[in-house]
Amino acid sequence: MSGVKKELVFKKIGIAIAFSPRLEALIAEAAKMQVGLKSEFIFIHVGNKSEEDVKTINEYLEKYNLLNNSKLIWQEGETVETILNICDEEQLDLLVAGALEKESLIKYIMGSVARKLSRKIKCSMLMLTEPKIESSPLKSIVVEGSNNPKTENTIAVAIEIAKAFKVKNVDVIQETDLNKAVLIRSDEFKENEVAKHKENLIEEEDKRLNYILSCNDCGDIKINIDRIEGKPGYIISKYAREHHADLLILNSPDRKLNLIDRVFPTDIEFALADLPCNLLLVNIKED
């Protein structure tokens, strides 16, 4: 296992905005992020440029003290592809977009802008389900602790965000890999053999997570490691919902997701189908 990347705070953040009722709320959320992360912001709008629209955005940016320390990119074209290109060109570390908690079946299968972006984007992405002008501070973060090379960085990001926004509780969820557990309990084993194999798996997982956590300075943050049984992706979403988490942090997908992944959901598709809270997909670029 390589050493954890330090300085994972997102330095350059893009905010995808649209002229919807949530525009001001989205900009307000960006302002709060600016306070915590001290990043450079780029506001991205894809669509026709009108004087009135420019005036509206500038008013909001000025209201939230973002006018002088952020950039506004305005382009026309197909929304998703344009935003993805801008992310590449501007070398963004994080893209923020608003997303509905749940969409209709057809919309889910066809894909809304935010969800399409989350499946294709190469940088990290934050989906805000309920951006508010006056929102309460983050209290609880749930982050995945799965056996994946990306988990190291994902947990490190979770800890840094927790420190930046003074979050007291971070729950690291180890989803018991049901399939392996299922094969362990095969009738080929005696009861004590099953227990022994399960113990070995759990020990391995604990060791791995402890190693990751030991590489991070957690400060006053209370890290709680929880092991829950169920389908990876689905069970952590359910946990976040049941525990009223404010932010769910997952690894970005290992490959591009397509329609088949929506028909046969895996991992993040469970979360995307029904967002339990704000969702951050971490994808740290290699140097």
Partner 1 sequence: MLGEPKQFNNITVYSSMNTSLSQQDTISLIFSLGVLLIVARLVVEFFRKFKMPLVVGELVAGICLGPSLLGHYFPNISTIVLNQHSNSMIAFNGITAISVIMLLFVAGMEVDLSIIRQQGKTALKTSFLGLIIPLAIGFLVAYYFYPLFGEYFTSSSKLILFSLFFGTALAVSALPIIARTLMDLGLFRSKVGMIIIVAAMFDDIVGWLLFSVILGMLKISSHSHGFIFTLGLTILYSVAMLTVGRIIINKSLPWAQKNFSWPGGFLSISLGLAFLGAAFTEFIGIHAIFGAFIVGIAFGDSVHLTEKTREIVNQFVTNIFAPLFFVSIGFKVDFFANFDLQITLLVLVLAIATKLIGAGLGAFWGGLTKQESIAVGFGMNARGAMGIILAILALQAELINEKLFVAIVIMAVITSIMAGPALQLLIKRQIDKEQDDLDKEQDDMFV
Residue 16 is given by DSSP the state E
For partner 1, give the closer residue by CB, 136 or 264: 264
* CB of residue 182 to partner 1, shortest distance in Å: 6
Where do contacts with partner 1 occur on this chain (CB under 8 A)? 1, 147, 176, 178-190, 197, 200-201, 204, 207, 211, 214-215, 229-231, 234-235, 254-255, 260-261, 263-267, 270
* CB of residue 199 to partner 1, shortest distance in Å: 13
Distance CA 222, CA 225 (A): 10
Q: How far is CA 162 from CA 96, 157, 223, 247, in A?
A: 18, 8, 10, 10
For partner 1, give the closer residue by CB, 51 or 191: 191
Backbone angles phi, psi at 60, to 5 degrees: -65, -40
* CB of residue 181 to partner 1, shortest distance in Å: 5
Strand pairing class (222-230; 169-177): parallel
For partner 1, give the closer residue by CB, 88 or 229: 229
For partner 1, give the closer residue by CB, 112 or 176: 176
Alpha helices, H only, 50-177: 51-63, 79-90, 105-110, 113-120, 151-164
For partner 1, give the closer residue by CB, 73 or 178: 178
Q: Is 90 helix (H, G, I), strand (E, B) or coil?
A: helix
Q: How far is CA 252 from CA 51, 181, 280, in A?
A: 37, 24, 9
* CB of residue 107 to partner 1, shortest distance in Å: 17
* CB of residue 252 to partner 1, shortest distance in Å: 14
